[in-house]
Amino acid sequence: MKHLYKQGNKKLPTLLLLHGTGGDERDLLPLAAMIAPEASVLSVKGNVDENGMARFFARLREGVFDEEDLLFRTRELKEFIDESAVDYGFDRDNVVALGYSNGANIAASLMYHINKSLKGGILFHAMVPRRGVDLPELNGVPVFIGAGKRDPLIPMAETEELVKNLKSAHSSVTEFWTDGGHELRREEVEEAKRWFEENFN
CB count, 10 Å around CB of 154? 21
β-pairing verdict for 64-65 and 14-18: unpaired
Q: Are strands 53-55 and 59-61 parallel, antiparallel or unpaired?
A: unpaired
User: How far apart (Å, rounded) are the C-alpha atoms in residues 184 and 124?
Assistant: 7
Is 182 considered catalytic here? yes
How would you classify the pairing of strands 59-61 and 173-178?
unpaired
If phi over 0 gives left and psi between -120 and 50 gives alpha, with beta otherwise, what is residue 140? left
Q: Active-site residue among 101, 109, 117, 171?
A: 101
Select which of 40, 84, 151, 171 is catalytic.
151
Which letter does DSSP use for residue 136 in this model? P
**151 is a catalytic site residue:** yes
Would residue 101 show up in a list of annotated catalytic residues for this protein?
A: yes
Active-site annotation, residues: 101, 151, 182
